[in-house]
């Protein structure tokens, strides 16, 4: 198991980005959270198997929303949080 945080910049709010990110997470058995931040970016905490997490990260970088556009991501490895599901917050 591996755990990361991802901050996503670009056209990622108001385009269904969080909900489509959750759909990708559920498909790949990724646990964590996704939330809008006040600066217009989206913040993701995600954990799962290394292969599934890498696939999830790639999907986020490409924007799971067809109306979205990711300009930049900042990814950091973090300690496992032991999430039980994937949730959209705020």
- Which tens digits make up the pLDDT trace of 19-32? 999 999 999 999 99
Domain hosting 7: range is 2-79
**Residue 18 designated active-site:** yes
Tens digit of pLDDT per residue, the chain (90 long)?
A: 999 999 999 999 999 999 999 999 999 999 999 999 999 999 999 999 999 999 999 999 999 999 999 999 999 999 999 999 999 998
User: Which residue among 18, 38, 54, 90 is the active-site one?
Assistant: 18
The residue annotated as part of the active site, out of 11, 36, 54, 87, is 36
Task: Let me know if residue 88 belongs to a domain.
Answer: no
Instruction: Report yes or no on 89 lying in a domain.
Output: no
C-alpha closest to that of 44 among 9, 87, 7: 7
Is residue 30, in this structure, part of any structural domain at all? yes
Residue 49 within any structural domain of the chain: yes
Model pTM above 0.85: yes
Q: What CATH number is given to the structural domain containing 11?
A: 3.30.70.100
Count how many domains the chain has.
Answer: 1
- 56 burial class (0-12, 13-18, 19+ CB within 10 angstroms)? buried
Active site residue 54: no
């Amino acid at each position: 198991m591996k755990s990361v945080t991802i901050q996503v910049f670009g056209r990622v709010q108001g385009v269904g980005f969080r909900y489509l990110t959750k759909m990708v997470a559920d498909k790949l058995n990724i646990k964590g959270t996704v939330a809008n931040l006040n600066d217009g970016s989206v913040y993701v905490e995600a954990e799962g198997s290394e292969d599934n997490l890498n696939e999830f990260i790639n999907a986020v970088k490409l924007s799971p929303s067809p109306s979205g556009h990711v300009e930049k991501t900042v990814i950091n490895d973090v300690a496992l949080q032991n999430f039980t599901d994937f949730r959209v917050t705020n």
